[in-house]
Amino acid sequence: MIVDTPVSLKRAQTLLADVRACTRCAGHLPLGPHPVLQVHPAARILIAGQAPGSRVHATGVPFDYPSGDRLRDWMGIDKTIFYDATRIAILPMGFCFPGTGKSGDLPPRSECAPAWRDILLAIMPNIGLTLVIGQYAQAWHLKGKAKATLTETTLAWRDYGQTMIPLPHPSPRNNIWLKRNPWFNEELLPTLRKRVSAVLA
Ligand code: SF4
């Protein structure tokens, strides 16, 4: 059932303003706070990702780069739908760019999810499908049911019911993973597209 929530819209706007003013872990952010997220009480699909990279930090537009093109292709939707907050919510595990380490971007800041995630999820009662991208989102959203590795969790996607689909990050860095795991394209993606289409219908 779709819940009509005019009160939640006001609540969402207030919460978004609070998040945008957040400086909770500012001392650890090399480029400073710049939360990047997309929320609306009417949203039907949640994209639970990792954390913005430096490009997204600069533009403020989530997934506006080749990874985003691949994610949209996986979902079978275009940018118009993807950036429509009344349909798609985008909540990374850390809202601000965490900096870069020896092997790529650092993990999402651990302060962020406990501070914001539950209260933001609570104002989106219409989410019918969550795409759980990467190990940090899987650890949070699959609530102790994630397997030992991201590959094992994603391979076990049928175990997580109709409303959760674990995914690897759509980054070109995962091209080798995608080649090694042909079941992802052959079995998981057709189901993902069908569920996205059904939830947005
Ligand atoms: S990462 Fe999260 S907790 Fe840290 S400053 Fe940004 S919004 Fe606040």
Condensed to tens digits (0 to 9), the pLDDT of residues 107-118 reads 999 999 999 999
Out of 3-7, 25-29, 80-84, which region has the weakest mean confidence (pLDDT)? 3-7
Say what the pLDDT of residue 5 is.
59
Does the structure show a pLDDT above 60 at 173? yes
Quick check: CB of 22 below 6 Å from ligand 1? yes
Quick check: CB of 87 below 6 Å from ligand 1? no
Strands (E) in the chain, as ranges, are: 45-49, 88-92, 100-101, 104-105, 129-133, 164-167
Does the structure show a pLDDT above 70 at 4? no
Q: What is the mean pLDDT of the chain?
A: 94
Quick check: CB of 95 below 6 Å from ligand 1? yes
- Summarize the confidence of residues 147-165 as an average pLDDT: 96
Quick check: CB of 111 below 6 Å from ligand 1? yes
Does the structure show a pLDDT above 60 at 41? yes
Domains, the chain, with CATH or none:
35-200 (3.40.470.10)
Atom of ligand 1 nearest to the CA of 28: 4
Compute how many other C-beta atoms are within 10 angstroms of the C-beta atom of residue 70.
18
Residue nearest to atom 1 of ligand 1 (CA): 96
The proportion of the chain whose per-residue pLDDT surpasses 70, expressed as a percent, equals 97
Two tokens, residue 187: 């079995």
